[in-house]
Amino acid sequence: MTLNERQQQNEALRSEFLRRSGVDVSKCYQCGKCSAGCPVGDHMDIPTNKIMRLVQMGLIDEAMQSSAIWLCASCVTCTTRCPKGVDVAHVMETLRQMAKDHNCVAEKNIDKFHTVWMNILHKMGRMYEPGLIVGRNMVTGNIFQDTSFGVPYLAHRKLKLMPYKSNNIDEIKRMIEKAEAMDREEGGAR
Ligand code: SF4
Ligand code: SF4
């Protein structure tokens, strides 16, 4: 398939990406500063600047199917470093949301981890690390993964064994619900 044909095939995805992200990727001039500063760049299948290039060329499907967008830790270093003011981290986030909505998640375990994380945040208004590890291990089927990590923290009372709720749980719930409603609005207008 020629590049032109692939771009035509991606036209609807390109429009959806533009509407959902609001980011003008045409400003990117491939300096590579986003990739150079990325703390997880060494583990990505496609470097951040190349993801930007794929989006710029309208090849949204290829960017959406990468594992790189799931390794992104949303640290926003790339956005801060970009000399052209491109919100690279928001591009990565939009691609993740689109990959979920189009059922083409490359890193399913990371997506499951995120779901467990959000469930705990909903219920507790804060993170409960022992529950996060157990929950992640149950949904991914790796029952004993990382279980020994928490032991020294528990021994030094850096982690609490029993869960406890945030004092501001209602406020946090309202904040999450508002963000989820905004997400639904973006996705629903596809
Ligand atoms: S830092 Fe900005 S201009 Fe440079 S490659 Fe990344 S997105 Fe493009
Ligand atoms: S936001 Fe994601 S892509 Fe950008 S520097 Fe951080 S981890 Fe890398």
Better-scored residue on pLDDT, 186 or 74: 74
Ligand 2 lined by 13 (C-beta under 6 Å): no
Q: Whose CA is nearest to atom 8 of ligand 2?
A: 38
Residue with CA closest to ligand 1 atom 8: 28
Q: Half-sphere exposure of 9 toward its Cβ, with a 13 Å CA cutoff? A: 10
Please tell me the predicted confidence (pLDDT) of residue 187.
Answer: 57
Nearest CA among 41, 184, 176 for reference residue 121: 176
What confidence score (pLDDT) does residue 188 get? 53
H-state helical runs in the chain: 3-9, 11-21, 33-37, 48-56, 60-64, 68-71, 77-81, 88-101, 108-124, 129-140, 150-155, 169-188
CB of 26 closer than 6 angstroms to any ligand 1 atom:
no
Q: Determine the residue of 26, 27, 84, 94 to mutate for testing ligand 1's pocket, defined as the one with the most ligand atoms within 8 A of the Cβ atom.
A: 84
**Two tokens, residue 7:** 């771009």
- What ranges do the domains of the chain cover? 3-101, 112-188
Least distant ligand from the CA of 32: 1
CATH number of 3-101: 1.10.1060
Give the model confidence (pLDDT) of 4-58 as tens digits.
999 999 999 999 999 999 999 999 999 999 999 999 999 999 999 999 999 999 9
- The model's confidence at residue 190, banded by pLDDT at 50, 70 and 90, is very low
**Coil vs helix vs strand at 9:** helix
Q: Looking at the CA of 68, name the nearest ligand.
A: 2
pLDDT at 189 over 60: no
Backbone angles phi, psi at 43, to 5 degrees: -100, 0
Considering only CA atoms, which residue is closest to atom 6 of ligand 2? Answer: 75
Nearest one of 84, 79, 102 to 20, comparing CA atoms: 102
Rounded to an integer, the average pLDDT of 153-162 is: 85
What digits encode the pLDDT tens for the residues 68-117? Answer: 999 999 999 999 999 999 999 999 999 999 999 999 999 999 999 989 99
Helix 88-101 and helix 169-188: axis angle, to 10°?
70
pLDDT at 147: 80
- Contact indicator for 97, 103 with CB cutoff of 8 Å: no
